[in-house]
């Protein structure tokens, strides 16, 4: 276990039981989500990645894309 995770668990242990359970449920959901994504990426073939890349290239060439900052403007820092 990493030091950061140990610190997080120590902090969580100080919270009321219902809050601990809520955080635990979120963490378990994240772990399951990570497992599912890892499985999905691991099962993706080179041909599938190549097809996806070709689709992106076609969208770029056709002007069907926009800069990421246009879609998600950066948040100014204080």
DSSP-derived letter for residue 19 is: H
**Residue 76 clears pLDDT 90, i.e. is over it:** no
Reported as a pLDDT band with limits 50, 70 and 90, residue 66 is: very high
The answer, yes or no, to whether residue 78 has pLDDT greater than 90, is: no
pLDDT value, residue 77 = 87
Residue pLDDT, tens place only, 8-65: 999 999 999 999 999 999 999 999 999 999 999 999 999 999 999 999 999 999 999 9
Residue in the structure block whose two tokens are 């996806």: 52
Distance, CA of 55 to CA of 40 (rounded, Å): 19
Task: Report DSSP letters for 40-76, one per residue.
Answer: HHHH--HHHHHHHHHHHHHHHHTT----HHHHSPPPP
Enter the tokens of residue 55: 């689709």
Phi-psi region of 63 (alpha: psi -120 to 50; beta: other; left: phi over 0): left
The pTM of this model reads 0.64
């Amino acid at each position: 276990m990493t030091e950061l995770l140990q610190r997080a668990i120590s902090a969580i242990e100080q919270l009321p039981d219902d809050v601990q359970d809520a955080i635990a449920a979120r963490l378990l959901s994240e772990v399951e989500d990570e497992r599912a994504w890892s499985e999905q990426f691991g099962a993706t073939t080179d041909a599938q990645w190549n097809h996806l890349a070709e689709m992106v290239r076609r969208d770029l060439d056709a002007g069907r894309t926009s800069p990421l900052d246009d879609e998600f403007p950066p948040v100014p820092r204080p």
